Chain A
Amino acid sequence: MSGQYETVIGLEVHVELATETKIFCGCSTAFGGTPNAHTCPVCTGMPGALPTLNRKAVEHAIAVGLATNCEITKDCKFDRKHYFYPDNPQNYQISQLYLPICRNGSVAIETEGGGKKQIGIHEIHMEEDAGKLVHDEVENCSIIDFNRSGVPLIEIVSEPDMRSAEEVIAYLEKLRLMIQYLGASDCKLQEGSMRVDVNLSVRRAGSAAYGTRTEMKNLNSFKAITRAIAQEAGRQTKRLASGMCVVQETRRWDDANERSYAMRSKEDAQDYRYFPDPDLAPVHISDAWIEEIRARQPEFRTEKIARYQRVYKLPLYDAEVLTETKEMADFFEAVAAVSGKPKKASNWLMGETMRLLKENGMEAGEIRFCAQHLAKLIALVDDGTISGPVAKEVFAKMFDTDIDPERYVEENGLKTVHDQDALRDALMQALNDNPKSVEDYRNGKEKALGFLVGQTMKAMQGKANPKMALALLKEILSE
Chain B
Amino acid sequence: MKNRISDETVAYIGILAKLELSEEERKRAGNDMANMLDYMDKLKELDTSGVAPTSHLFPTENVFREDIVTNGDGQKDALFNAPAKKEHGFLAPKTIGMEEG
A–B touch (CB < 8 A): the answer is: yes
| Contacting pair A261 B100 (CB below 8 A) | yes
CA distance A258 to B16 in the complex (A): 34
Task: Tell me if B39 is interfacial: C-beta within 8 Å of chain A.
Answer: no
A-contacting residues, B69-101, CB 8 Å:
69-71, 73-75, 77-79, 84, 86-95, 97-101
A244 CB to nearest B CB, Å? 14
0/1 per residue, A21-64, Cβ < 8 Å to B?
A: 10001111000001111111100100000001111111000000
A455 CB to nearest B CB, Å? 61
Q: Which residues of B contact A264 (CB under 8 A)?
A: 98-101
Task: Tell me if B67 is interfacial: C-beta within 8 Å of chain A.
Answer: yes
| Contacting pair B16 A269 (CB below 8 A) | yes
Q: Which residues of B contact A144 (CB under 8 A)?
A: 89-92
Question: Residue A20 contacts which of B12, B61, B68, B94 (CB distance < 8 angstroms)?
Answer: B68
Q: Which residues of A contact B78 (CB under 8 A)?
A: 36, 39-40, 44, 146
Task: Tell me if B24 is interfacial: C-beta within 8 Å of chain A.
Answer: no
CA distance A190 to B57 in the complex (A): 44
| Contacting pair A263 B98 (CB below 8 A) | yes
B-contacting residues, A60-77, CB 8 Å:
75, 77
Task: Tell me if A266 is interfacial: C-beta within 8 Å of chain B.
Answer: yes
CA distance A38 to B15 in the complex (A): 32
Task: Tell me if B2 is interfacial: C-beta within 8 Å of chain A.
Answer: no
| Contacting pair B91 A136 (CB below 8 A) | yes
CA distance A139 to B90 in the complex (A): 12
B8 CB to nearest A CB, Å? 12
CA distance A460 to B94 in the complex (A): 70
| Contacting pair A278 B68 (CB below 8 A) | no
Task: Tell me if A141 is interfacial: C-beta within 8 Å of chain B.
Answer: yes
**Which of A167-175, A281-289, A388-396 lies at the binding interface?**
A281-289
Q: Which residues of A contact B67 (CB under 8 A)?
A: 19-21, 54-57
Question: Residue A262 contacts which of B15, B89, B94, B101 (CB distance < 8 angstroms)?
Answer: B101
Q: Which of B73, B89, B94, B98 has the most CB of A within 10 A?
A: B89
| Contacting pair A37 B74 (CB below 8 A) | yes
| Contacting pair B86 A139 (CB below 8 A) | yes
Task: Tell me if B48 is interfacial: C-beta within 8 Å of chain A.
Answer: no
Q: Which residues of A contact B79 (CB under 8 A)?
A: 36
Q: Which of B68, B79, B92 has the most CB of A within 10 A?
A: B92
B66 CB to nearest A CB, Å? 6
| Contacting pair A142 B91 (CB below 8 A) | yes
Q: Which residues of B contact A55 (CB under 8 A)?
A: 64-67
| Contacting pair A27 B94 (CB below 8 A) | no
Indicate the size class of the contact surface on chain B: 35 or more
With contacts A77-B55, A282-B61 known, is A27 near B91, CB below 8 A?
Answer: no
Residue in chain A with minimal CB distance to B91: A141
Specify the main secondary structure of chain A where it touches its partner: loop
Q: How many residues of A contact B (CB 8 A)?
A: 58
Residue in chain A with minimal CB distance to B100: A261
Residue in chain B with minimal CB distance to A134: B89
Question: Residue A282 contacts which of B56, B89, B99 (CB distance < 8 angstroms)?
Answer: B56
| Contacting pair A278 B55 (CB below 8 A) | yes
Question: Residue B70 contacts which of A26, A139, A261 (CB distance < 8 angstroms)?
Answer: A26
| Contacting pair A281 B56 (CB below 8 A) | yes
Task: Tell me if A143 is interfacial: C-beta within 8 Å of chain B.
Answer: yes
Q: Which residues of B contact A302 (CB under 8 A)?
A: none
Task: Tell me if B63 is interfacial: C-beta within 8 Å of chain A.
Answer: yes
Task: Tell me if A145 is interfacial: C-beta within 8 Å of chain B.
Answer: yes
With contacts A28-B69, A36-B74, A281-B63 known, is A269 near B12, CB below 8 A?
Answer: yes
Task: Tell me if A84 is interfacial: C-beta within 8 Å of chain B.
Answer: yes
B26 CB to nearest A CB, Å? 17
| Contacting pair A86 B92 (CB below 8 A) | yes
B100 CB to nearest A CB, Å? 4
Task: Tell me if B18 is interfacial: C-beta within 8 Å of chain A.
Answer: yes
CA distance A57 to B78 in the complex (A): 25
Question: Residue A265 contacts which of B62, B71, B99 (CB distance < 8 angstroms)?
Answer: B99
Task: Tell me if A355 is interfacial: C-beta within 8 Å of chain B.
Answer: no
Task: Tell me if A276 is interfacial: C-beta within 8 Å of chain B.
Answer: yes
With contacts A276-B56, A278-B56, A281-B56 known, is A143 near B91, CB below 8 A?
Answer: yes
Q: Which residues of A contact B92 (CB under 8 A)?
A: 86, 133, 141-142, 144
Smallest CB-CB A-B distances: 9 pairs:
A26-B70, A56-B67, A143-B89, A55-B64, A276-B55, A86-B92, A39-B74, A35-B88, A144-B90
Seen from chain A, the residues whose Cβ lies within 8 Å of a Cβ on chain B are: 19-21, 25-28, 34-41, 44, 52-58, 75, 77, 82, 84, 86, 133-136, 139-146, 261-267, 269, 271, 273, 275-276, 278, 280-284
Given contacts A143-B87, A262-B99, 15 further A-B contacts (CB under 8 A): A21-B67, A26-B70, A34-B75, A36-B88, A39-B74, A52-B65, A54-B67, A55-B66, A56-B66, A142-B92, A142-B94, A266-B97, A269-B15, A281-B63, A283-B61
Can you list 20 A-B pairs, Cβ within 8 angstroms, ordered by A? A20-B67, A20-B69, A28-B69, A34-B88, A40-B71, A40-B78, A52-B63, A53-B64, A55-B67, A136-B91, A139-B86, A141-B84, A141-B86, A141-B92, A141-B93, A143-B90, A143-B91, A146-B90, A269-B16, A281-B56
